Amino acid sequence: MSKEEVAAADTSEQPITKAPYWDPPPAPLLDTSELSRWSLYRAAIAEFTATFIFLYVSIATVIGYKSQAAAETCTGVGYLGVAWSFGATIFVLVYCTGGVSGGHINPAVTFGLLVGRKLSLVRAVLYIVAQCLGAICGAGLVKGITGRSYETLGGGANSVSDGFSVGAAFGAEIAGTFVLVYTVLSATDPKRTARDSFIPVLVPLPIGFAVFVVHLATIPISGTGINPARSLGAAVMYNQHKAWKDHWIFWVGPLLGATVAAFYHRFVLRGEAAKALGSFRSTGAATART
């Protein structure tokens, strides 16, 4: 056997090196010391830019699809293409910004991570402001490029679709955001990240697919918000009664869905409820013996 063959055999038999598992403690709620760190503002800029790009690509796809369909029926990318646009763009942006800001690009995701004690209130507020401003600027760029088509084709703004009630749209937004935030928390779980550290695109991939499948399910009902910044940016630029009439759905629904997902992941999947109950029973038994 040659030296090259021996070296190749030794390499193939070596186990894959995985990152050590470390579960960080809960983030402090009010960590004002972050305000003096450039890393916080760099992360906020990354969130602004990523949300700007997300709104530009996704809303431009929606306007382009409606424009093509208006010119000739059954043409354009269709709902499937719109869903792919949203999901693939999120995949790319999470991959690009994950190492800087975590790649939230969504106030509901940020809020869910806040509820799950993954980041401080200071960082969460700054992220949400940056995301909303980025979304407004991204939708504004689409409006500037598409001109009158933006107004006549609805501006990509979310609203309750004909044939569906406000309650149905509200429930769809809760369920859709639950799926998204549940996927984010599962994909970024420290134990899973350590186990699959040798697969560099694992975290962005399921998140992008979650956005894709939720859009397939929810576009016919509410146009799919699951991202308050996305809904706000389009509504601000479109600025018609239809966009603002039920706008609360696209904030309350996603934030509620994110909260449920955070509690489910923390207390059920991570077993914190069982751990707390076991600790309570142990303390009670010890007290009884004394």
Task: Judge whether 177 lies within some domain.
Answer: yes
Task: Judge whether 22 lies within some domain.
Answer: no
**Which of 128-142, 180-194, 247-261 is predicted least confidently?**
180-194
Task: Judge whether 4 lies within some domain.
Answer: no
Task: Judge whether 26 lies within some domain.
Answer: no
The residue segments making up the domain with residue 171 are 33-277
Digit-coded pLDDT (tens) for 132-182? 999 999 999 999 999 888 999 999 999 999 999 999 999 999 999 999 999
Residue 270: C-alpha distances to residues 254, 266, 267 (Å): 22, 5, 6
Cβ–Cβ contacts within 10 Å for residue 244, how many? 14
CATH number for the domain spanning 252: value is: 1.20.1080.10
The total of structural domains in the chain comes to 1
Is 51:138 a contact under the CB 8 Å cutoff? yes
User: Does 183 have pLDDT greater than 60?
Assistant: yes
Task: Judge whether 1 lies within some domain.
Answer: no
Task: Judge whether 16 lies within some domain.
Answer: no
Task: Judge whether 5 lies within some domain.
Answer: no
* H helices present in 188-227, as ranges: 190-195, 204-222
Task: Judge whether 208 lies within some domain.
Answer: yes
pTM flag (> 0.75): yes
More confident residue, 279 or 250: 250
